[in-house]
């Protein structure tokens, strides 16, 4: 398992960096925010991203993918992190992975190629409370006739507004905390009883609350076996977690570079503030954590490309990456604000935009405490 990018992956990253610098600089994200863009992203940019092939990177050729692997995908997420690029890429990855892992052949044919071609968007509706906890799923799914009736609500659904369909985790039996009894459903937009409203978060991206009020779906809406969805779900989430970790790593590295520049140029007491040892040591610690975070992120991405890595190995490495990159990015962004002094808390500076996106990415699919716990659970301890 290699922890560095190959020549091809590096070339992809370089292209992505050039493209994003030209088409999606941080200033563009600021504009999206100020203009309150409906879906939180720029549809024209999204079309170009699809045309570049990024949406197909992790998927097999048979469904229109490029089969280029997760390390390549991570390289793209890292670059998107650097400019805070807003797009539905994340949903393509998790929804696509879940369809690929658990979908029936009909569901796959109906949705995967359209997803990759950017013609359709499918959002994953998972959490029901303020903190990520997929086992706590309680949205109820009762058998009714030949299908199911769904009741409940989902919050902080990434890319939920304007989606063509939602992948839902629901409970067909048991209670919050049980692995057994979690079932997955694919529900199309326009189904009766489904309503949705935006949730405005600090990163100005697309988040939605989804309500299901006696929503009737046919049995063909089920993915995988009834009550057995959790394993597949968690595997798909791990792919999303690794991508978020890569995004946070890119964002944190970029923010750290900006902060270093400031330390070298801002003068107080007739000296650049970066000559003060109190700040030097803190900057050195940020750098150290960034180095460790990069190794963890590379390992998680590489695990998905390695046929010898089982779901536990991938999950453990994804948790390590999400934990390390999340904690590091949060720490680096706090330090960035503090080291900029007064200007650091102004909206004029981009530092705040990085801070805000990093915090949302950190909370998404599990914060540090969540992944610390999960890593412990996945680490086989002698009794």
Partner 1 sequence: MSGIDDFRKETRAWLEANCPASMRGAMPDGELVWGGREVEFKSEDQRLWFERMRDKGWFCPDWPTEYGGGGLSPEEHAVLEAEMRRLKCRPPQINLGIWMLGPVILEFGSEEQKRALLTPMARGEMRWCQGFSEPNAGSDLASLKTTARDAGDHFIVDGTKIWTSYGDKSDWMYALVRTDATVQKQKGISLIALDMRSPGVSVAPIDLISGKSSFCQVFFDGVSVPKGQLIGPLNGGWTLAKSLLQHERKAMSKFGEFSLPTHFDLLELLPEYVPAGSRSPADIALRARATACAMDEHAYSLTVQRMGEEARAGMDVSGLMAIMKLVHTEQERDKFEILLDALGHRALGWEGDEFSAGELALTRAWLMSFTQTIAGGASEIQLNVIAKRVLGLPEGK
Sign of CA dihedral 11, 316, 237, 197: negative
Binding of partner 1 at residue 11 (CB under 8 A)? no
294 belongs to the binding site for partner 1 (CB under 8 A): yes
- 76 vs 359: CA distance, rounded Å: 20
Is position 131 an interface residue for partner 1 (rule: CB under 8 A)?
no
258 binds partner 1 (CB under 8 A): no
Task: Decide: is 373 part of the binding site for partner 1 (CB under 8 A).
Answer: yes
Task: Confirm or reject binding of residue 338 to partner 1 (CB under 8 A).
Answer: no
Which one, 51 or 369, has the nearer CB to partner 1?
Answer: 369
Q: Is 58 an interacting residue with respect to partner 1 (CB under 8 A)? A: no
**Residue 383: helix, strand or coil by DSSP?**
coil
Query: Per-residue x/- marks for partner 1, 135-164, CB under 8 A?
Result: ------------------------------
Q: SS3 for 165?
A: strand
Do 254 and 246 form a contact (C-beta atoms < 8 A)?
Answer: no
264 binds partner 1 (CB under 8 A): yes
CA distance 236 to 315: 10
Taking the complex as a whole, the smallest distance from the CB of residue 240 to partner 1 amounts, in Å, to 19
- Residues 171-210 as x/- pattern, contact with partner 1 by CB under 8 A: ----------------------------------------
Instruction: Rule CB under 8 A: say whether 285 interacts with partner 1.
Output: yes
Residue 376 is a binding residue for partner 1 (CB under 8 A): yes
In the set 158, 299, 355, 365, which binds partner 1 (CB under 8 A)? Answer: 299
245 contact partners, CB below 8 Å, separation of at least 6: 293, 296, 297, 300, 318, 321, 322, 324, 325, 326
Residue corresponding to tokens 């998790």:
94
Beta strand pairing status for 165-171 and 122-125?
A: parallel
Single residue of 22, 44, 192, 383 touching partner 1 by CB under 8 A: 383
Asked if 276 is part of the footprint of partner 1 (rule: CB under 8 A), the reply reads yes
Told to check if 280 binds partner 1 by CB under 8 A, we report yes
Residue where the block lists tokens 């076996």: 225
Q: Per CB under 8 A, does 323 bind partner 1?
A: yes
Q: How far apart are CA 373 and CA 331, in angstroms?
A: 20
Q: What is the smallest separation between the CB atom of 283 and partner 1, expressed in angstroms?
A: 6
Cβ closest to partner 1, residue 27 vs residue 284: 284
Tally of CA atoms within 13 A in the half-sphere of 226 that contains its CB: 12
CB closer to partner 1, 28 vs 372: 372
**Sole binder of partner 1 in the list 176, 225, 284, 343 (CB under 8 A):** 284
User: What is the rounded distance in angstroms from the CA atom of residue 16 to the CA atom of residue 14?
Assistant: 5
Instruction: Kindly tell me which of 205 and 241 has the beta carbon lying closer to partner 1.
Output: 241
Cβ atoms of 226 and 183 within 8 Å: the answer is yes
And the tokens for 353?
């935009």
Beta carbon of residue 119, minimum distance to partner 1 (angstroms, whole number): 39
The binder of partner 1 chosen from 22, 105, 130, 277 (CB under 8 A): 277
Closest separation between CB of residue 190 and partner 1, Å? 44
- Concatenating the DSSP letter of every residue in 327-367 gives HHHHHHHHHHHHHHGGGGGSTTSTHHHHHHHHHHHHHTT--
The residue range among 70-78, 264-272, 329-337, 344-352 that interacts with partner 1, by the rule CB under 8 A, is: 264-272
DSSP assignment of 98-160 equals HHHHH--HHHHHHHHHHHHTTS--EEEE---SSS--GGG---EEEEETTEEEEEEEEEEEET-
Q: Which residues bind partner 1 (CB under 8 A)?
A: 2-4, 260, 263-264, 270-272, 274-277, 279-281, 283-285, 287-288, 291-296, 298-299, 320, 323-324, 369, 372-373, 375-376, 379, 381-383
């Amino acid at each position: 398992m290699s922890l560095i990018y190959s020549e091809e992956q590096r070339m992809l990253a370089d292209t992505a960096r050039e493209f994003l610098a030209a088409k999606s600089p941080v200033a563009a994200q600021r504009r999206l925010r100020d203009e309150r863009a409906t879906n939180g992203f720029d549809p024209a940019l999204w079309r170009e991203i699809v045309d570049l092939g990024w949406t197909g990177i992790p998927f097999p050729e048979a469904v229109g993918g490029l089969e280029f692997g997760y390390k390549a995908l991570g390289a793209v997420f890292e670059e998107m992190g650097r400019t805070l690029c807003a797009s539905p890429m994340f949903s393509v990855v998790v929804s696509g992975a879940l369809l690929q892992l658990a979908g029936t052949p009909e569901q796959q044919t109906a949705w995967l190629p359209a997803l990759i071609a950017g013609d359709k968007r499918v959002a994953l509706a998972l959490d029901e409370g303020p903190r990520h906890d997929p086992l706590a799923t309680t949205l109820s799914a009762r058998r009714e006739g030949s299908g199911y009736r769904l009741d409940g609500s989902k919050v902080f659904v990434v890319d939920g507004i304007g989606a063509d369909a939602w992948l839902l985790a629901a409970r067909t039996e048991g209670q919050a905390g049980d692995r057994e009894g979690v079932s997955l459903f694919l529900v199309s937009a326009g189904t009766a009883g489904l309503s949705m409203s935006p949730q405005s978060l600090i990163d100005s991206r697309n988040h939605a609350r989804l309500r299901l009020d006696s929503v009737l779906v046919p049995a063909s809406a089920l993915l995988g076996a009834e009550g057995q969805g959790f394993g597949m779900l968690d595997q798909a989430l791990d792919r999303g977690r690794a991508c978020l970790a890569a995004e946070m790593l890119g964002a944190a590295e970029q923010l750290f570079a900006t902060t270093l520049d400031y330390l070298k140029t801002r003068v107080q007491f007739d000296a650049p503030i970066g000559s003060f040892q109190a700040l030097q040591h803190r900057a050195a610690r940020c750098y150290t954590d960034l180095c460790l975070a990069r190794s963890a992120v590379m390992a998680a991405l590489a695990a998905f490309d390695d046929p010898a890595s089982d779901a536990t190995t991938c999950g453990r490495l994804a948790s390590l990456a999400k934990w390390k990159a999340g904690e590091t990015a949060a720490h680096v962004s706090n330090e960035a604000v503090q080291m900029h002094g007064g200007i650091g808390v102004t909206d004029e500076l981009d530092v705040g935009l990085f801070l805000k996106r990093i915090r949302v990415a950190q909370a998404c699919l599990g914060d540090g405490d969540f992944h610390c716990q999960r890593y412990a659970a996945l680490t086989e301890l002698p009794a």
